[in-house]
Amino acid sequence: METATLHQNYLLSPSPNSSSLLPLPSFSHRSLHFSPFPSSLSLKLVKGGLSSNALQAVSPFRPDAAVSDICSETTELADIDWDSLGFAYVPTDYMYTMKCARGGIFSKGELQRFGNIELNPSAGVLNYGQGLFEGLKAYRKEDGNILLFRPEENALRMKIGAERMCMPSPTVEQFVEAVKATVLANKRWVPPPGKGSLYIRPLLIGTGAVLGVAPAPEYTFLIYVSPVGNYFKEGVAPINLIVEHELHRATPGGTGGVKTIGNYAAVLKAQSIAKAKGYSDVLYLDCVHKKYLEEVSSCNIFVVKDNVISTPAIKGTILPGITRKSVIDVARSQGFQVEERLVVVDELLDADEVFCTGTAVVVSPVGSITYKGKRVSYEEGGFGAVSQQLYTALTRLQMGLTEDKMNWTVGLN
């Protein structure tokens, strides 16, 4: 068995039911253990950081091959139509998993071939919805290098959500390093510059068997990725929302402020009805007074009036979006007044602009909002001046087209 030096407590191995393997990644300054036979191939990493030039290809079928001989195998892009990307699932090469017993700590994560996972029918996530997810993106720069956007913020949000859901969670360092490893293992799926991004979906789920209502005895942290384009079919054209005043997304004291999986199942009914009527999505009101804006199904909402930007304050029923937080910081850095407060639904009637923010949508202009049968239209055919300025500033930063004075991006060279 051949060995080189590695520095991370991860394990890379093929799925046991994989009939064929793509070239497995190699990490500089890490120890690679493999045999000439694919069935016994594994990559073990011991504690340390990911190198800036980590992940080049080492073929399991060529254990004697030099990295430089086959590096080109991983730099080639996947053979798909990059111009037709939407926001839909596209299977990629590798996923990351790491397990933890209740009361324990996560350790010994592994990259393995992407595929189905097995769950006990009595798993906590299946029976009682004990699960969280995150969403972030990787972008390919013009020079071919890859950027992540604020991954430590997703790690922190998962930790907060895990505490609310009685689950252990990876450390911020474990989360970020796992994201890096997963993206680099799927590097060929990061779209070319300007063609989209690699959407990264970390999951934290109760996989241990439990019959009575109680926290699961075991948990799995899993990351998979998929190349994506625009979230809404309209692309960056204005979307059309309808205000929902009977069904509600979240309640005070509930889980609306964390990214638990059940929050999204709760919006499906209203969203399906709205889309059947031709709307893009649903804007929810608070469930107590039924007059204060909360959020859209999967993104936060902003209202612009006289160059003052207002957005609902985070008070436990609204997800603290990372794009929301970033847009607020960018807007203030550009001299805008931003107010986080209670926003009454009637303010939509005379707003100058309305826009949504989220990892999937980034910044999406709202063309119209319908409330109790009354439709209010905003910018026709595109962004308003404020949302366009914020969209441009944020996306240029995410894609590495402008200097990152915020220190938000993480480079994977």
Q: Answer left, alpha or beta for residue 27, where phi above 0 means left and psi between -120 and 50 means alpha.
A: beta
Query: Mean pLDDT of successive 10-residue segments in the chain (413 residues)?
Result: 35 41 37 30 34 33 31 69 93 98 93 97 98 98 96 98 97 98 98 95 98 98 96 78 95 96 95 96 97 96 97 96 98 98 96 95 94 90 90 96 96 88
Q: Is 259 a catalytic residue?
A: yes
Read off the pTM.
Answer: 0.83
pLDDT recorded at residue 33: 31
Tokens read off for 146: 């890859």
Question: For 286-321, how does the pLDDT look when each residue is reduced to its tens digit (9 = 90+)?
Answer: 999 999 999 999 999 999 999 999 999 999 999 999
Tokens read off for 388: 């366009």
Q: Answer left, alpha or beta for residue 19, where phi above 0 means left and psi between -120 and 50 means alpha.
A: alpha
Spatial contact of 238 and 120, defined as CB atoms under 8 Å apart: no
Question: For 7-57, how does the pLDDT look when each residue is reduced to its tens digit (9 = 90+)?
Answer: 334 444 444 344 333 433 433 333 333 222 233 223 333 333 333 333 333
Helices (H), 186-301: 262-265, 268-276
Listed residue (275, 174, 283, 186) closest to 228, CA to CA: 186
Spatial contact of 290 and 321, defined as CB atoms under 8 Å apart: no
pLDDT recorded at residue 75: 62
Listed residue (269, 284, 260, 281) closest to 365, CA to CA: 281
Integer-rounded Cα radius of gyration of the chain? 22
Parallel/antiparallel/unpaired status of strands 107-113 and 10-13: parallel
Residues 6+ apart with CB under 8 A from 85: 191, 195, 196, 227, 228, 229
What is the distance between the alpha carbons of residues 215 and 212, in angstroms, rounded to a whole number? 9
What is the distance between the alpha carbons of residues 370 and 279, in angstroms, rounded to a whole number? 9
Q: ∠ at Cα 93 (87, 90), nearest 5°?
A: 20
Give the count of alpha carbons within 13 A of 400, CB side only.
19
pLDDT recorded at residue 15: 42
In three-state secondary structure terms, 122 is: coil
Parallel/antiparallel/unpaired status of strands 293-296 and 353-358: unpaired
What is the distance between the alpha carbons of residues 259 and 111, in angstroms, rounded to a whole number? 24
Tokens read off for 143: 């020079």
Spatial contact of 224 and 269, defined as CB atoms under 8 Å apart: no
What is the distance between the alpha carbons of residues 207 and 216, in angstroms, rounded to a whole number? 7
E strands present in 246-319: 281-285, 293-296, 300-305, 308-312
What is the distance between the alpha carbons of residues 113 and 19, in angstroms, rounded to a whole number? 10
* Given the residues 233, 259, 305, 374, the one annotated as active site: 259
Both ends of the chain: CA-CA distance in Å? Answer: 29
pLDDT recorded at residue 235: 65
- Residue 63 phi/psi, 5-degree rounding, is -65, -15
